[in-house]
Amino acid sequence: MKSRTLLIVAIAAAIAMVVAYQVSTRYRLQRANAIAGQSNMPTLAPGQDPLTGVAVVPKRVRSKDYQRSEFGDAWSDDTDAPGGHNGCDTRNDILNRDLGDKSFVYTRRCPQAVRTGTLLDPYTGVHVAFTRGPKSGEAVQIDHIVPLAYAWDMGARDWQPSMRWRFANDPANLIAVQGQANKDKGDQAPASWMPPNKAFWCQYSMQFAEVVRGYHLSIDERSANTIREAAQSCPR
């Protein structure tokens, strides 16, 4: 009788573990899908001018008063950007969205943070292994497709702080990339830097255009020409 009771308890425990795993997995997938689909940026069909409705100015005039702090605390969950107030900071949201082959761990900033994973870097086309730790930011970083400093120069300096915080954490303007590629880009506009992986030029140009249009930012003329040329690589 005792053995039978132990067997029943063991079976019940195993079932509970399976159910818990399924619920946890479902939660992670739902969160990743929600972040991926919550952007309210406009879309543009390939073959059209990707910069319709965007103000083009002769050149970028760099402001000397730009500071990262003007866009709020880095990767804060306390914003009204898509995915805000979901219990995970923005960096962890984007890692969850963009990495594959993931395992997870509880952290103070996210109860379902990516512990390990693999990134197919869109900027270089190479696979990058990610392991959470003190140096994980060197391998995989989160890039603002429209750099914060560029946005500041092209109109964001006149925004309310809440709008800048939203912009800095909007998944529509964020992408996980190889650390070195992100460093190479810095705050450069398309006229000065495009992804080495030309297969990504279509998506990069269209996404850049959607962000500046959605946030009513201007674009410098040379970058506008680059965006239009890169968009020619999109399927028609």
Tell me the C-alpha distance between 38 and 31, whole Å: 10
**Where does the chain have alpha helices with state H?**
2-37, 90-98, 136-139, 148-153, 161-169, 179-185, 201-214, 221-231
Q: What is the pTM of this model?
A: 0.82
pLDDT along the chain (236 residues), means of 10: 51 44 45 42 65 98 96 97 97 98 97 97 98 90 99 98 98 98 98 97 95 98 98 87
Which one-letter DSSP state was computed for residue 156?
G
Two tokens at 40?
């309210």
Tell me the C-alpha distance between 217 and 3, whole Å: 71
Kindly state the greatest CA–CA separation across the chain: 86
Alpha carbon of residue 170 to chain centroid: 7
Which one-letter DSSP state was computed for residue 196?
S
Q: What is the pLDDT of residue 158?
A: 98
Phi and psi angles of residue 177, each rounded to the nearest 5 degrees, phi first: -140, 170
Alpha-carbon torsion angle 204, 155, 56, 79, nearest 10: 30
